Amino acid sequence: MAKYYTEPSRTFTEYLLIPNLSTKDCTPANVSLQTPLVKFKKGEKPAISLNIPFSSAVMQAVSDHHMAVALARSGGISFIFGSQPIEEEAEMVRKVKGYKAGFVVSRSNLTPEHTLADVLDLKEKTGHSTLAVTDDGTAKGKLLGIVKGSDYRISRDSLDKPISQFMTPYSSLIYGKLGITLSEANDLIWEHKINCLPIVGDDQRLEYLVFRKDYEAHKDHPNELLDANKSYIVGAGINTRDYKERVPALVDAGADVLVIDSSDGYSEWQRDTIQYVKANFDVKIGAGNVVDREGFLYLVESGADFVKIGIGGGSICITREQKGIGRGQASSLIEVTEARNQYYEETGIYIPICSDGGIVHDYHITLALAMGADFVMMGRYFARFDESPTRKLKVNNNFVKEFWGEGSNRARNWERYDSGGKSGLMFEEGVDSYVPYAGSLQENLEKTTSKIKSTMCNCGSKSIAELQREARITVVSATSLVEGGAHDVILKESGLSGE
């Protein structure tokens, strides 16, 4: 007969943290949110760690190259959505890797034969006021000059005036040679009072641009997630159908880590995909999603570097409604964490867990970490920000952003829900919706991480590992939920009028 779980399928909202002793040195400033992204052996360090425990979901409405750069600047990681043509996903990865911290590959380039009209058109498209002039108009061509806003006057200069007549020529430029450090480049910028320093290689080839404004940006982002070459770290989503074509392109583009994007990861298709990647490439790969011990161990034994937990808990996911399959996110996480810890004791290999879905409030993130997750993956949270790829609209006098699931008819990501049948999406497992617009990623992340650090101090923990060891967690009742919010008062914004 079928196996029955007598314990209810529980969500994060059904739990609260019990405070521990807060020592005098346990302050938010002393709390570290660094966490492992990929597996490692006892006594060793993981190949990749996150500086904050956040990853953005593998979704069309969430994770493109703009989101990836913004989140890496703040210390987290994005997984570029895989429900797009292979070369387009690879190009997004390239763009992220091209945002070398401080050293920027020029994205606005023209030739000396172009005109002022071309300069203005390109400035309108990219928003860049500084343009590189190369012999072939590419980012890696021979540098011939730079065009800045001060090089021309729209009111006086003819639109058909060639760039060669008003650009700052190479002979008049201050530039750095390839191999210069970022510190040395910034010193040149300040010494010569310039806003942009070209970095050139052999034969006067343009390699990078270093901007004065990025010096301030770097100071504003002390948690930047960088690789050994000072490029931003980025992930990419793959599926179990075209991985033999997609993975080589993503690795060639520079992806630091891959993840199999699937609604149900407990499958032989995932094992085949993981083993193919491990046999042919030196790149980390995560797998999922699963909700129990058996699914977790299956993926770990297949070679997964981290495992995603969660089925049906996403804000736009209707898998449970459509198929009656899934599990409460808290219950899933508790069981898988127990299996992970036991596996670590037996093998000495630590497998990071990603909690994917079920996050409604910021405190749910802290609960997920306390229950054993090393980092969380979120879609709705990030879809609200300026950096997400969706449109900002005004609906019923409120600003919103579009947000749709990968299982919706809009995304038509049937590969994510593939069960070995015919190609195509037979029914929806996600919805098309709006989320309230929330502004910039950095501002919101700072607020959320402040809450997490404050709560960890209440729990007497200065690291995520310590929180996982020392946290005390209680189940709450329905009436306790009511008590936890504002009650028995008349809120001032309720519209009560005074005399």
| Cα 285 to Cα 303: distance, rounded to the nearest angstrom | 8
12 contacts 360 by C-beta, under 8 angstroms: yes
Catalytic residue among 73, 271, 384, 416: 416
Helix (H) or strand (E) holding 349: strand 349-350
Neighbours of 87 (CB within 10 A): 11
| Cα 41 to Cα 77: distance, rounded to the nearest angstrom | 22
198 contacts 164 by C-beta, under 8 angstroms: no
Whether 416 is catalytic = yes
* 354-393: burial string, b at 16+ Cβ within 10 Å, e else: bbbbbbeebbbbbbbbbbbbbbbbbbbbbbbbbbbbbeee
| Cα 263 to Cα 425: distance, rounded to the nearest angstrom | 13
Whether 410 is catalytic = no
| Cα 45 to Cα 50: distance, rounded to the nearest angstrom | 12
Question: Nearest to residue 374, comparing CAs of 39, 92, 147?
Answer: 39
398 contacts 364 by C-beta, under 8 angstroms: no
Determine if the peptide bond prior to 413 is cis (ω within 30°).
no
Catalytic residue among 26, 196, 271, 317: 317
Q: What are the catalytic residues?
A: 317, 416
